Structure 1
Amino acid sequence: MPQPAPLPWLTVQGRHLVDPAGSAVRLQGVGLGGWMNLENFITGYPGNESNLRRVLLDRMGREAYDAFFDEFYTAFFDEDDAAYLTSLGINSVRIPFGYKHFEDDARPFELLEEGFERLDRVVTLLARHGIWSVLDLHAVPGRQNQHWHSDNPTHVADFWQHPHFQDRVVHLWEALADRYKDRPEVAGYNPVNEPSDPTGEVLPAFYDRLEKAIRAVDPRHVLFLDGNKYSTDFSAFAERSEPLPNTVYTAHDYALPGITRATAYPGVVRGEYVDRDVLEATFLRRTEFMRSTGTPVWIGEFGPVYPDPAQDGWRLQILQDQLDIYAEHDASWALWTYKDVGLQGLVHARPSSPYLSLISDVLATKQRLGIDSWGGTDAGVRDVLDPVDALFDREFPEYEPWPWGRGPHVAVLVRHILLAEPLAERFGDLFRGVSPEQARELARSFRFAGCDRRQGLAEVLRAHLGRPDALTGE
């Protein structure tokens, strides 16, 4: 493979990311969700990652467990994956990772070399294909938000109440900054994914502390800082006289029709008519802080889910409209997500693969009971939820807990935790007695050569990025 020229350093200059010649660069990429930070809808298990790992280790034993994950880390993203992204015109990948790759809770502040090596492999691989990396700490000690993707087994984000957890994140980022301080192929650091600080007071103070700690080690890399309330709310920074230097404030911009039980776009979602104008108004509202401070806009996550092939046409239209809006406003972006088991990924494991064949019954149960927050529906458990709703209407009608109110709060507690816990045990039982070689074969289900590509999604990206279809040459 011909080697691309070394990637240049990126820095913030006014509203743009620029290279050393001062030319503006728009990052246009994907998120590598589900690789170094497992998520239930991406790899098919119920609940949160730590519990998944517990039940798999219990059922499989250490040797088979290690064999599965050793194979999985390479199978999920390797040379063929990077080459495919290059063929689409992608120039950047946001790499989510959980802290447990770098530190054991039983030995805090003792860093694990194997986590750094795992991350190094993909950063280097992407650079060989001319693709920048953005390093994204997706799950922190104590959990920074109330949901599964921060490996939260509860609904409480303890990170904001405990300085110990904050100290560990600063320590980890000091080590990461030292590791990558001389590597321009890393576009920058995204230190905390989707923070959700109920007070709104701890987050800006923590960012100030973290920025100073990182800059003391690495003064050169860009920081990508998520807003509060899952990177949709920047009011916590409104009183800041100046944005932090060499910093991009990042919004997440999921469009409701693309992630809910909508039936059409344009169309009515939760009582509101949503069309392209509404998508643009939402984008402008979420990025008002960046535009008012004259700093770059980077949409760190966005994108529809694709639960029903019959709906792909209008869901892809949402994606097309969002891409056009971002281009018109000179915004960088990272589409969520690259690879999964079939709900949202650009590439997905085949239903006939060994892994999906093994877990198919659990996937069906998850769908029937709405156990996944992302892409799930409560239609199959209304007989449970209706009496709960009636009780709250009668006894606590004013209750609207952080961050999204009563309905999502009850869903987290009942569907995504209470029902997920026993189903996770059932999921683990499927792996009982799996040999190390069988475990490796299951993990190989995620190899690019054995996966399917979501062709409609690829066509939208290719057309937007000006790349010909490799098959047709058009």
Structure 2
Amino acid sequence: MTVFSSILKTDGTKIVDASGKQVVLKGAGLGGALNMENFITGYSGHETEHKKAIEEVLGKKKTDYFFDRFYDYFWTEADAEFYAGMGLNTLRIPFNYRHFFDDDAPGVIKPSGFALLDRMVDRCAKYGIYVVLDLHAVPGGQNQDWHSDSAIHQALFWVHRDFQDRVINLWVEIAKHYKGDARIAGYNPVNEPADPEHTRLWDFYVRVEKAIREIDPDHILFLDGNTYAGDFTHFGKPLPNTVYAIHDYALYGFPGFEQYAGKSEQDDKLRRQFLRKVKVANEANVPVWNGEFGPVYEPEVVYPGAPATISIEENVATNVGRYNMLAAQLRIYRESNISWSIWTYKDVGIQGLVTVSPNSPWYKKFGDFIEKKKRLGADFWGAHPDADADALYTALAEHFKKEIPEQFHKKMYPPLWDIKRQITRVSREIVLSSYLCYEYAEFFRGMTEPELDELAKSFCIENCDKRHLLNKYLEEDARTA
């Protein structure tokens, strides 16, 4: 068990304790709880509209009751015990700003947000698990995706300084609350920023660092690179006691792309991708933390709603390749001795170390709907590669390409997303998904509080399955000195 004898700090390219001993942080993100993402728990749309749609069906009292139980069951002492038993020593806790203030009262901090975080931190601390606090959704959206809890494809956080001021004020309150708390490994001020102008992110980091340091001079700041934590080229002089946070997803681990087969050229590509992202940190003598990575997996058991054509044998073979890709990534990280946090700890069977059982009340109620979402491609993470109507989106993309002069095809930010990706993001993953959230909410109609409690208990670890081969690879790496 970790002894929280001192607050961690940086020393050159290392994270160390007060004695100067290096501490390599290894763990996972707790996505899906205090910041909800639709592929993690199976709902549709973005978090705020999802909760609003349920409240229209259930009423406020029952909705609050359901989510209170859901948050409590998502990370319990039993989760912390299992997690620490794997040798994992750090949990990244993503949270939505809306737990701490409302848009119509941005200056009023809600104690309920701290109560939710404190409960998770306390449960981690009992088993010696450090916590990284990760602000995963900010006012206006810090990137162009729905997982910043925004129903548009613009990152307005970088446009309106008032939004940035609100977040800086929030971090001041968080710093007041956790100042001197050695259980906290550090603060991750904003997840996956995507500033099209590339300069406003660093200006924000300078401002938020100054504000935090006036209250809390000690905790590490984990600073994500721009464009979804991949680009550090516009960073200024390194700020003291900071770690550069990359996200290192590899397309070999996703359906619809070339699959990992252990080829030397594939390993070389994984290494080049990683080294490109850490180049600035290495040159600046700053530690690196890989805040997110990991493939998605095909179901190895039959879930409610699964198509009759599903082949478990094929899925198992596909997953072996993805586990092998993960192992290759972990070897690369060990070579550089960096800290990491895989995405994500618990979900409905896409990526999690722990997954909701196909026999659970959750899957009995939502299984058909989750499969419909996959079939329609309503969220990118969980979509079938041959999602329904894909030919329609391809034709629409071709129409756009024909009518838009080629010189402008890469003008939309980020330019690595082609025209079809931009179209499907907006039409399928935002608009279609927003319509589907009302269908999802109807499944709650008429449910009693005991029924809601049983539904939420589907996420209790005692009722979940474990992804054993994934956990084996992670445990082996976590226990490697």
TM-score, normalised to structure 2's length? 0.93
Is 2:399 the partner of 1:391? yes
Measure how far apart 1:263 and its partner are. Answer: 5.7
Tell me which of 311, 321, 327 is aligned to 1:320: 327
Q: CA deviation at 1:437?
A: 1.6
2:245 alignment partner in structure 1 = 250
5+ unaligned residues in a row in structure 2: which ranges? 299-314
- The runs of 4+ residues in structure 1 deviating greater than 4 Å are none
| In 2, Cα distance between equivalents of 1:155 and 1:405 | 15
Please give the alpha-carbon distance, in whole angstroms, between the structure 1 residues aligned to 2:199 and 2:418.
20
Matching residue within 1, 5, 8 for 2:3: 5
- Equivalent positions of 1:162-177 (< 5 A) are 162-177=160-175
Confirm whether residue 379 of structure 1 aligns to residue 387 of structure 2.
Answer: yes
Q: Tell me how far apart the structure 2 counterparts of residues 362 and 274 of structure 1 sit (CA, whole Å).
A: 39
Q: Greater shift after overlay, 254-263 or 188-197?
A: 254-263
Distance 1:394 1:382, change over 3 A: same
Quickly say closer, same or farther: Cα 1:110–1:274, change in 2 above 3 A: farther
Partner residue in 2 for 1:465: 478
What is the aligned-residue identity percentage? Answer: 44
Q: Is the 8 A contact 1:97 1:138 kept in 2?
A: yes
Secondary structure in 1 aligned to 2:297? coil
- State the shift of 1:99 in Å: 0.2
In structure 1, runs of 5+ residues without a counterpart are 468-474
The one of 411, 427, 430 equivalent to 2:440 is 427
Counterpart check, 1:236 vs 2:234: yes
Q: TM-score, normalised by structure 1?
A: 0.94
Aligned partners of 2:293 and 2:343 also within 8 Å: yes
For 1:164 and 1:236, how far apart are their aligned partners in 2? 23
**Amino acid of the structure 2 residue aligned with 1:172:** L
Q: Map Cα deviations across residues 79-115 of structure 1 (whole Å, 9 max, x no partner).
A: 0100011111000011100000001112111000011
Q: Given that residues 39 and 49 in structure 1 are in contact (C-alpha distance below 8 angstroms), is that contact kept between their aligned partners in structure 2? A: yes
Q: For 2:285 and 2:350, locate their aligned partners in 1 and report how far apart those are by CA, in whole Å.
A: 36
Deviations 1:441-463 (A, max 9, x none): 11110000000000111111122
SS of the aligned residue for 1:25 comes to: coil
**1:211, 1:317 → 2: CA distance?**
39
Amino acid in the other structure paired with 2:75: F
Shift of 1:465: 2.4
**2:442, 2:423 → 1: CA distance?**
28
The correspondence of residues 78-117 of structure 1 with structure 2, limited to 5 A, is 78-117=76-115
Q: Is the 8 A contact 1:265 1:274 kept in 2?
A: no
For residues 110-168 of structure 1, give each alpha carbon's deviation from its aligned partner in whole angstroms, at most 9, with x where no partner exists.
00001101101111111110110000000001110011110011101110110110110
Q: Does 1:139 align with 2:137?
A: yes
Aligned residue for 2:371? 364
Aligned to 1:265: 260
Residues 339-360 of structure 1: CA distance to partner in whole angstroms, max 9, x if unpaired? Answer: 0000000001111111121111
Q: 2:35 aligns with which of 34, 37, 49?
A: 37
Please show how residues 321-336 of structure 1 align to structure 2 within 5 Å: 321-336=328-343
The structural deviation recorded for 1:310 is 3.1
Q: Does 1:291 align with 2:289?
A: no
**In 2, distance between residues paired with 1:262 and 1:136?**
30
Aligned-residue CA RMSD (Å):
1.5
Counterpart CA distance in 2 for 1:45 and 1:342 is 13
CA contact (8 A) 1:195 1:228 kept: yes
**Counterpart secondary structure, 1:109:** coil
Q: 1:414 aligns with which of 423, 427, 432?
A: 427
Q: State the partner residue of 1:204.
A: 202
Distance 2:52 2:317 in 1: 38
1:279 correspondence with 2:265: no
Moved more, 373-382 or 450-459: 373-382
Distance 1:423 1:152 in 2: 16
Aligned pairs for 1:37-76 within 5 A: 37-76=35-74
**2: CA distance between counterparts of 1:312 and 1:440?**
33
Q: Distance in 2 between matches of 1:311 and 1:263?
A: 11
Cα deviation, residue 264, structure 1: 3.1
> What is aligned with 1:402?
413
* CA distance, structure 2, for counterparts of residue 465 and residue 309 of structure 1: 24
**Is the 2:238–2:284 Cα contact (8 Å) retained in structure 1?**
yes
Q: Which residue of 2 aligns with 1:16?
A: 14
Aligned length: 458
Report the secondary structure of 1:235's partner residue: coil
What is the distance in 2 between the residues matched to 1:369 and 1:353? Answer: 24
